[in-house]
Structure 1
Amino acid sequence: MKEIKHTTEAYIYKNIDMLPQEDQVLMNNAIEAKNKAYAPYSKFSVGAALLLENGQIILGNNQENAAYPSGMCAERVAIWKAGSDFPGVTIKKLAIVASSSTYVVNKPISPCGACRQTLSEYEINQNSAIEILFMGAVGEVYKVDSIISLLPFSFDSSFV
């Protein structure tokens, strides 16, 4: 049997102010998106901001409904909007921010499994990595170079 050891590397910044300027702008856009989230059931608001190769920033936020949990995550709202409005344009970076109206989210919130799979599809199709930054309402910001860092043994079209 062949043994494989997988490790994930992440850069950890103490707060938004420690990020490079371009990343600070993207994170602040994610905060703006989070503040417009519709999360009356979970009380957990998430905002996402995508930076495209053409300089456009696309925002998304979670959207819930009474048939909870059949809403949609911020990351997929943003990436599908980018795919719809700017087909074929490379996605460079994704910033994610989360907060709750019932407690302080003080640790980074990474994409859920469904969002990781969707991000993987876009990253594979564009044949270049999507850098991902994520945080809670306050505190540290984590940055990974690619969705593969968060989804190392991904399922893709080569299996179908």
Structure 2
Amino acid sequence: MKKQKIEIALEVFDTVSELPKDIQELMNKAQQARENAYAPYSHFKVGAALRLVSGKIVLGSNQENAAFPSGLCAERVAVFSAGANFPNEIITDLAITVRAESHEVIEAIAPCGACRQSLAEYEQKQKSPITIYFMGETGEIIKVASIMDLLPLGFDAKYL
């Protein structure tokens, strides 16, 4: 037996104003999208904004449903919308932000497992990483160069 260690590199920004201007714009769009979330059950709103290589920005917000598995996370709403409306464009960046109605979220909240898997599929499809920035409502912003930084040993089509 041998042990292997998996490490990831993160960049941490203290405030949105420290981000590059184009990413500040993207995070601001994610914050706006967050306010359109339909979250009557969790009271936890998530907004996502992604930028395509053409410069177009696609928004997503979480959409809940009384039949809980029927809801969809903001990240998947955005990426599926991009895939449906701009199928041949490469996604370059994704910004994610959250807000809870009961308390201030100051920790950076990463995508859930289902969103990580969906994003990994898009990276594989486009043969290019998606840089991801995520934050709470306020506080630090974390940047990863690829979803694979958050999903090492991910499942993909080569296993089928």
Q: Answer whether TM exceeds 0.5 for this pair.
A: yes
Map 1:1-160; keep pairs closer than 5 Å.
Answer: 1-160=1-160
> Cα offset for 1:66?
1.6
What percentage of aligned pairs have identical amino acids? 51
SS of equivalent residue, structure 2 residue 95: strand
Alpha-carbon RMSD: 0.8
Give, in whole Å, the separation in 1 of the partners of 2:90 and 2:102. Answer: 37
Letter in 2 for 1:76: R
Count of aligned pairs: 160
Structure 2, unpaired ranges of 5+: none
- CA drift of 1:4 comes to 1.8
CA drift at 1:3: 2.7
Where in structure 1 do 4 or more consecutive aligned residues deviate above 3 Å? none
One-letter code of the match for 1:6? I
Q: Give 3-state SS (helix, strand or coil) of 2:37's partner.
A: coil
* Greater alpha carbon shift after TM alignment, 65-74 vs 142-151: 65-74
> Residue 2 of structure 1: CA displacement?
3.7
CA–CA separation in structure 2 for the residues paired with 1:41 and 1:21: 35
Task: Report the AA paired with residue 17 of structure 2.
Answer: D
Structure 2 CA distance for aligned equivalents of residues 43 and 64 of structure 1? 10
C-alpha distance in structure 2 between counterparts of 1:86 and 1:93, whole Å: 15
Deviation, 1:69, is 4.4
TM-score by length of 2: 0.98
CA distance in 2, matches of 1:76, 1:31: 16
* CA distance in structure 2 between the partners assigned to 1:16 and 1:36 by the alignment: 20
CA distance in 2: counterparts of 1:53 and 1:3, whole angstroms: 39
Unaligned runs of 5+ in 1: none
Query: TM-score w.r.t. structure 1 length?
Result: 0.98
Q: Deviations over 1:54-110 (max 9, x none)?
A: 110000000012222431000000000000000021000000000011111110010
